[in-house]
């Protein structure tokens, strides 16, 4: 079972470059999330999608955009990368009130 698949696993960007992080889940979950994880900060919610066609800002949405392409896929886009966006990014999916399943993460470095 694939679960939640994120690509790429590693990425280095120059300041000002753009990129899209891809996420797909095969568990038929309605809810999908994008988090970033920084040392000592835990997981901070960037964007959330409660269902196909809906998205909502989380705690730290500035500098990011998302697309819920269909029920399976939820992508995160950085339009103009900044060094402050250096982090590990996790995609997750769940049903309301139930276990969240996470991808393996994308380690992004912006130089």
Partner 1 sequence: TQLLEQSPQFLSIQEGENLTVYCNSSSVFSSLQWYRQEPGEGPVLLVTVVTGGEVKKLKRLTFQFGDARKDSSLHITAAQPGDTGLYLCAGERRTNDYKLSFGAGTTVTVRA
Beta strands in the chain (DSSP E): 4-7, 10-13, 19-25, 31-38, 42-49, 56-57, 64-68, 74-78, 87-94, 101-102, 106-110
- The pattern of x and - marking residues 50 through 89 that bind partner 1 according to CB under 8 A reads x-----x-xx------------------------------
Asked whether position 7 contacts partner 1 by CB under 8 A, the answer is no
Closest distance of CB 108 from partner 1, Å = 14
Residue 14 or residue 42: which is nearer to partner 1 going by CB? 42
Asked whether position 31 contacts partner 1 by CB under 8 A, the answer is yes
Closest distance of CB 101 from partner 1, Å = 8
- The burial class, CB within 10 Å (0-12 / 13-18 / 19+), for 49 is buried
CB 73 within 8 A of CB 91: no
Binding site for partner 1 (CB under 8 A): 4, 31, 33, 35, 40-45, 48, 50, 56, 58-59, 90, 92, 94, 96-100, 102-105
């Amino acid at each position: 079972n694939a679960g939640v698949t994120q690509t790429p696993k590693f990425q280095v960007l120059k300041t000002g470059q753009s990129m899209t992080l891809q996420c797909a889940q095969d568990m038929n979950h309605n809810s999908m999330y994008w988090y970033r994880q920084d040392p000592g900060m835990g997981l901070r919610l960037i964007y959330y999608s409660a269902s196909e066609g809906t998205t909502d800002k989380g705690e730290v949405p500035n500098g990011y955009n998302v697309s819920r392409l269909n029920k399976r896929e939820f992508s995160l886009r950085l339009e103009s990368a900044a060094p402050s966006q250096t982090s590990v990014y996790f995609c997750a999916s769940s049903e309301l009130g139930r276990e969240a399943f996470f991808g393996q993460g994308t380690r992004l470095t912006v130089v």
